Amino acid sequence: MKRIFLIDEHISSKQNGVGTFMTQFLESLRNTECDVNFLSFNDSNGHLRISVKDGYRYYQIPFSNRGDFLMNGGQVFPLLSLYIKDTPENLFFINHSPCADFMKALRRNFPKSKIVFTIHDQGWTSPCLGDVEMLQHILQKKRVCGKDKRVEQFVRRYCRNERTMYRTADAVVCLNQSTYDLLQDCYFVPEEKIWLIPNGIEISSLQHSHRMQAQKEAKSNLGIQGDEQLFLFVGRPTKAKGLFELLAAYDKFFLKYPDTRLVIAGGVENFSECSKYSINSAAHVTYTGLIPKEKLDLWYKAADFGVLPSYTEQCSFAGLEMMKNIGIVIATDGWGLQKMFKEGDNALVAHIPDRKEDKTNGLVENLLKALSQAYHLQQEEREMYRKRTQKNLLEHYDAEMMRQHYVELINSL
């Protein structure tokens, strides 16, 4: 029997895409004979505790080292080896990065066990804003115009760490084709070690009349006027997520279309920075903060359009939810998105201009055009997009496909 050990961070996984991924991954194991265990780091208990809940065994590891659990492998894994027998049937699944030393400590203490690392992000994507050409220049130690040397050093150091991680793992899972190719070209990972398994989502289709009624009720419950066109952003408000460009574009858009509202769903730590971009539209930009899934689902139902202005993603759960629940998505052609969203097919795409030539942030203007284009879509055009996004989800991002691929991966090790 395969014994699965999911390495989890007790606090953060409840608030990010890793937590959503873990929920989907557990569904993959529901009808298998795998013995599922959690290594739950930064638990609220003051000592190591082993418990069983809902058929899963939890190794609850207390908060230490200021919460930086990836630095604790050298102390934790020798202790866990007293409770967990090292066998070839063990599979440790890791989702957090950077963790080269953590994985090496795991390998030392469990040499017979297998390690699977899933890439939810890479260290270069944010500082390079998804510009793979910039990454290649940095790795070749070519100077990048306008980049701080410290940023270049950070990217090179992080990439070295990632290469060690991928070398230590028995299998590396990536979520999109671009990263699959990059792993071979820049990280030199053998193709036979790489598994391309996009995130998946449960697909359900509402008939037009039911969807319209559900949207009307959701808007009413959220206090949104029925005639307001709602644009929804979901995610961390960071530079790499393109939020500042979206706010700037919406500020211009609002002057012409005041019967609209932009909703930012996610925790905002730099509100003063965000507010600089909403001089005209402040009263029509809503910040929800971190909210439970049930509340977020209500916003998905209420929204007329989903907006994914990111420079970089791997396989965005927010994007999948937008495709499923809203059906009309404004996205960029950033890293990890260009294969996921196609102009005129399942999205309205705002092009990200070449970073070297773009001196006026053309992404703002391109987002403005996409917002306007979405606003003017006729009802039949909106339904066409919804049908195409449903088809795209079924063909590429169905949760059942994801589950089958993970079962294949587990059986192969």
pLDDT bracket for residue 360 (50, 70, 90): low
The phi-psi region of residue 410 (left if phi > 0; otherwise alpha if psi is between -120 and 50; otherwise beta) is alpha
Residue 176 has pLDDT above 90, yes or no: yes
At 17 the pLDDT is 62
Lowest mean pLDDT among 146-150, 280-284, 350-354: 146-150
Q: For the chain, what is the radius of gyration of the CA atoms? A: 22
At 26 the pLDDT is 87
Strands 56-62, 90-94: pairing is: unpaired
CA 49 remoteness from chain centre = 30
Q: What is the spatial distance between Cα 68 and Cα 400, in angstroms, rounded to a whole number? A: 34
Transcribe 101-138 into DSSP letters: HHHHHHHHH-TTSEEEEE-S--TTTTTTTT-HHHHHHH
Q: Report the sign of the C-alpha dihedral through residues 77, 71, 52, 28, in that order.
A: negative
At 205 the pLDDT is 60
Q: What is the per-residue burial (b if ≥16 Cβ within 10 Å, else e) of 161-193?
A: bbbbbbbbbebbbbbbebbbebbeebbebeeee
Q: Is the CATH code 3.40.50.10420 the one for domain 3-200+399-412?
A: no
Residue 25 has pLDDT above 90, yes or no: no
- Do residues 117 and 165 make contact, with C-beta atoms less than 8 angstroms apart? yes
Segment 90-101 mean pLDDT: 95
- Do residues 237 and 266 make contact, with C-beta atoms less than 8 angstroms apart? yes
- The pTM of this model reads 0.93
Residue 12 has pLDDT above 70, yes or no: no
Q: Quote the percentage of the chain above a pLDDT of 70.
A: 95
Better pLDDT: 352 or 225: 352
Which one of 3.40.50.720, 3.30.1540.10, 1.20.1250.20, 3.40.50.2000 gives the CATH number of domain 208-396? 3.40.50.2000
Better pLDDT: 271 or 205: 271
Where do the structural domains in the chain lie, given as residue ranges?
3-200+399-412, 208-396
pLDDT bracket for residue 374 (50, 70, 90): very high
At 147 the pLDDT is 74
Strands 114-118, 229-234: pairing is: unpaired
Q: What is the spatial distance between Cα 252 and Cα 368, in angstroms, rounded to a whole number? A: 7
At 239 the pLDDT is 87
pLDDT digits (tens, 9 = 90+) for 289-338: 989 989 999 999 999 999 999 999 999 999 999 999 999 999 999 999 99
Better pLDDT: 9 or 111: 111
Residue 377 to residues 32, 344, 373, 383: CA-CA distances in angstroms?
Answer: 46, 12, 7, 10
Residue 211 has pLDDT above 60, yes or no: yes
Segment 13-31 mean pLDDT: 76
Token pair, residue 386, equals 């919804």
Segment 39-56 mean pLDDT: 88
As a whole number, the mean pLDDT across the chain is 91
Transcribe 389-406 into DSSP letters: HHHHHHHH-BHHHHHHHH
Residues in contact with 119: Cβ distance below 8 Å, sequence separation at least 6, in sequence order:
97, 172, 173, 174, 175, 179, 314
Coil, strand or helix at 173? strand
CA 8 remoteness from chain centre = 16
pLDDT bracket for residue 206 (50, 70, 90): low
Token pair, residue 345, equals 């097919």
Nearest of 73, 95, 101 to residue 20 by alpha carbon: 95
Do the first three CATH levels of 3-200+399-412 and 208-396 match, i.e. the same topology? Answer: yes
At 251 the pLDDT is 98
Residue 14 has pLDDT above 80, yes or no: no
At 79 the pLDDT is 94
At 267 the pLDDT is 87
Terminal-residue alpha carbon distance, the chain? 12
Lowest mean pLDDT among 22-26, 85-89, 134-138, 164-168: 22-26
Segment 176-190 mean pLDDT: 97
Q: Quote the percentage of the chain above a pLDDT of 90.
A: 75
Segment 357-378 mean pLDDT: 90
At 59 the pLDDT is 94
At 138 the pLDDT is 93
Residue 218 has pLDDT above 60, yes or no: yes
- Do residues 295 and 324 make contact, with C-beta atoms less than 8 angstroms apart? no
At 321 the pLDDT is 94
